[in-house]
Amino acid sequence: SSDVCSSDLELDLTKLPGWQEAEEATQKRIIESAKNYIQNQDNVAYEWIGTNKYNRPALAGCRAFQLLLKESPEFLDNLSSEIWKKWTPVIIATPIINRHEDSYLEIVKCAYVNAPQESINTLITLIDKENQEHGHIVVISRFDKCWDQRLKLALLEKAKDPTLKPKYFEQLLKELLKQEKLLKQGLTEVRDFAKSLISFPLPLAENEWEKVLTASRVLIQNLD
């Protein structure tokens, strides 16, 4: 593993001069190499996930997925669940210049559909990192195309983690309430959880009464 440099953060190979200047035959060889890499790379590194180090062979795998989504999507449609499970932690954790880029969000969606538990496990690892280092929620935006009841409940369980900092807890609760409304399934687990936190008199422990105030504020701001 090593520190990431700016050129590594561009996951779309088709935007790089090397691809744009290549002849069609060379581009086809690159596509075939990407397929081979995804299928046959057995030593995928995970130890960098949740740290500030990155593994370039793993990043190359995410680049390969990004390329194939654009140039050979039918190949991804036919990948085995075992291969998706192997690469999903890398896809979720890969650093990227623009995490809102549609092609990246689509790859995350494919990973989530084919390997939901691996996706959620990696997301939780990255949430722990954000909570400890920044106290600001960012990584969940990678899942903008993935929200369903399973993801909501997994993150609701994480919202109950007492190690979450107050500001991070507030942001997570807001996002969960927003997504619960958008899912429109008539299920109110997040709302019920927020209501369950509200008690009077306020608890004595500072982190507990902060959660009471946060839940009250977020409910008022986000409910009809």
Is the CB of residue 123 less than 8 Å from the CB of residue 93? Answer: no
Other beta carbons less than 10 A from residue 132's beta carbon? 12
pLDDT of residue 144: 95
Q: Which residues pair with 2 in a beta bridge?
A: 54
Three-state secondary structure call for residue 205: coil
pLDDT of residue 100: 72
Q: Which residues pair with 35 in a beta bridge?
A: none
Check residue 7 and report its DSSP letter.
G
Amino acid at 140: I
**How far apart, in whole angstroms, are the C-alpha atoms of residue 150 and residue 208?**
27
Low-confidence ranges of the chain (pLDDT < 50): 1-5
**Overall pTM surpassing 0.85 (yes/no):** yes
**How far apart, in whole angstroms, are the C-alpha atoms of residue 171 and residue 76?**
34
pLDDT of residue 166: 87
pLDDT of residue 7: 55
Is the CB of residue 178 less than 8 Å from the CB of residue 142? Answer: no
Q: Which residues pair with 31 in a beta bridge?
A: none
User: Please, is 24 exposed, middle or buried when counting C-beta atoms within 10 Å of its C-beta (0-12, 13-18, 19+)?
Assistant: exposed
**How far apart, in whole angstroms, are the C-alpha atoms of residue 124 and residue 86?**
17
Phi, psi at residue 134, to the nearest 5°?
Answer: -120, -35
Amino acid at 84: W
User: Please, is 217 exposed, middle or buried when counting C-beta atoms within 10 Å of its C-beta (0-12, 13-18, 19+)?
Assistant: middle
pLDDT of residue 12: 75
Q: Which residues pair with 54 in a beta bridge?
A: 2
Three-state secondary structure call for residue 222: helix
Is the CB of residue 183 less than 8 Å from the CB of residue 147? Answer: yes
pLDDT of residue 118: 98
